[in-house]
Structure formats: structure tokens, C-alpha cells
Homo-oligomer: A and B are copies of this chain.
């Protein structure tokens, strides 16, 4: 099928769907091509190689991530909640983004989007501690807690320890770790 019209997008979506089902490694470019009804090398023109496809996913993921964090940037605590919400609701993106061996981490689009997200995280916890040293520790703590909860949740490690939806339980964990910072 020459001139599919929307192949780049369709392959990308198929990759996301496949990643959602079985992780970012358990699918092949050829499988995605078959699903899209094109030859096994059709994606090459759009992504170069498999790493290129994963790089595109990471770049788009960091951009979406930054967007969602930006929406709540004024509330330090809600940035953490948004972090968790993003991981759960955009699982496939998240699983690629934080697995640097999968894609080209220094791709310009990736770098730009990732840096944008990072700045929002840094801004979110600004002014919560007196010294720069403590400031940095607070940022790290918040980032670690949100990221850790999200990772554990996605890996299924919490199925025995937590009941409820991710956002509710995540809020409780964030509150236990960081609530004292919020209240001053």
C-alpha cells in the first residue's frame, strides 16, 4: 500500500498499544507493520530504526508529561500527584521515557522536552527549604517518592499492599512523605 497517508502516526500508536500490553521490548517492528497493513520496512522511512521509533515515543512522552505537570505547577504537592497520574494513564510513554538504554537520550527533541519537565519539577518544590542544600534534598525527595510510587505501581509490586486506585493511594503515600513540608 503506497502512500498510506498517516503511517507515522499509526505505527507510533501501534507501538504504544503493544507497549501497554507487554512492555517496550516485547514487540517487533515487523509486527507493527503487519498490523498497519504495510511492508516490514515501511516504518524505516519515518523512524530510521527501532531505536528511532522509541526515541520518538520518548520525545512525545516527555512533552505530554511536561504539559500535564505544567497545569498544576503552582502547587508543589499536586505536581507529585500529576506525576503519578501521568505514569498510570500514559503507562507506555512512561515505561519508555525512564529506560534510557532503549532510545537516543541525546536526541534534540528528547532533550528539550525532558528539560522542560525537569524545570517544572524543580520549580514545584522551590521555597520549601531554607538552604540550597536542603532545597535540593526536598526536590529529590519529592521526585523520588512520586517516581517510586509510580514505578512500583506499574510493576505490580503494590498489588498486595494497596487497594484503591493509583491516584488515591499515591496521594496517601505522598502525604505521608511530604505532607509536613506542605504544612510548613
Q: Which residues of A contact B (CB under 8 A)?
A: 22-23, 25-26, 98-101, 105, 118, 122, 129, 133-134, 136-152, 155-158, 160-162, 169, 172-178, 180-181
Contacts and interface: CB of A to CB of B under 8 A. Distances in A.
A104 to B, nearest CB: 13
Taking chain A's interface residues, is the majority helix, strand, or loop, or is none over half, making it mixed? Answer: helix
Given A140-B161, A148-B149, A101 B176 contact: no
25 contacts: A136-B172, A137-B172, A137-B175, A137-B176, A140-B149, A140-B158, A140-B161, A140-B162, A140-B169, A140-B173, A140-B176, A141-B174, A142-B177, A143-B152, A144-B144, A144-B146, A144-B148, A144-B149, A144-B173, A145-B177, A146-B148, A147-B148, A148-B149, A148-B150, A177-B178
A172 B140 contact: yes
Interface centre among A101, A133, A134 (most CB of B within 10 A): A101
Nearest to A134: B176
Contacts of A175: 137
